[in-house]
Amino acid sequence: MLLLQVYGEYLGRLVEPRNIADIVLVFVLVYTVLKLVRGTRAVPMAAGILAFALLYWLAVKQSLATLEFVLRGALLYIGVLVIVLFQNEIRQALITFGNRIRMPFARPQRGQFGEGVYDEIVLAASSLASTKTGALVVIERSVGLKNVIDGGVRLDAELSYDLLVTIFNPTTPLHDGAVVVRNHRVAAASCFLPLTLNPLLSKDLGTRHRAAIGITEDTDAVAVVVSEETGLISFVRNGRIKRGLDATQLRTLISTALESHARQRREEKNSLPEAETNEVVST
């Protein structure tokens, strides 16, 4: 009877709203982390750290004094090691949480695009692909690319097919590097991007493709790449690349990515208090 009474009290505490919320939040957190690291280089690294922890447990269990001494010293630096090894994953996780959990009074972000922008980028990519002219166009969404823009040549010019084709002409000074598009305009050209460190990528991917993957890993931007060697058109989003696209497929991918972002902006704007909405419109 005593055992049943204790068990009943435990179940009673477990079904309290606070404890249920606690369990649900932990589940959501663990699920989100696993979803973020799935398919990334964080998985084999995490397995290595787990193997290290098991080895230390074995050393303690079997009284292996020398091995335990060595591993105990290494454990002092395990926190720094995790931050260094998983810096990209941690940054991407923080960006993801920041984009999904917004304060009600936050102003809507930049980056709403119209259909004309799709056509200009698609037409330029198709034209450059036909001549095997390398190109890299990065489209900013919620996360600002000011640091990338500042490192390139500022243009702040209206986005057009002629401008993109001219920039990536191999005889022009600005062809080397990426073009960053912000709010229907070419913000900068000849921008240099961080390269991805993903060891699982194909060896066929050159520096231009790795730069496109790198910027989409660090931010929520999307990128269009034209290969100089093969003339293939690729689209990159969230660190994932789709290659060998035609004009129709490319336009669909760009519109899907940007329209989903525009829809999110509209929802955020509608959720603002009326007073602040009026303020945003009037400025």
**Domain residues of the chain, as ranges?**
2-100, 115-266
Q: Which residues contact 172 (CB under 8 A, 6 or more apart)?
A: 166
Q: Which residues are paired to 46 by β-bridges?
A: none
Rounded to 10 degrees, what is the CA torsion of 194, 198, 199, 202?
-90
> Of 181 and 96, which is predicted with more confidence?
181
CA distance 219 to 99: 11
pTM score of the predicted model: 0.59
pLDDT value at 163 more than 90: yes
Tokens of 143: 């996360």
- The answer to which of 4-8, 180-184, 192-196 has the lowest mean pLDDT is 4-8
pLDDT value at 103 more than 90: no
Burial of 244 (0-12, 13-18, 19+ CB in 10 A): exposed
How do residues 270-281 score in pLDDT, each as one tens digit? 554 443 433 333
Tokens of 283: 């400025």
- What is the number of other CB atoms lying within 10 angstroms of the CB of residue 166? 15
- Cα angle for residues 213, 216, 219 (degrees, 5° grid): 150
Fold classification of 115-266 (topology level): YojJ-like (1 (3.40.1700)
- The answer to which of 36-40, 117-121, 139-143, 224-228 has the lowest mean pLDDT is 36-40
| pLDDT > 90 fraction of the chain, expressed in percent and rounded | 29
Closest CA to 239 of 191, 198, 180, 206: 198
Torsional class of 58: left (φ above 0), alpha (ψ -120 to 50), beta (otherwise): alpha
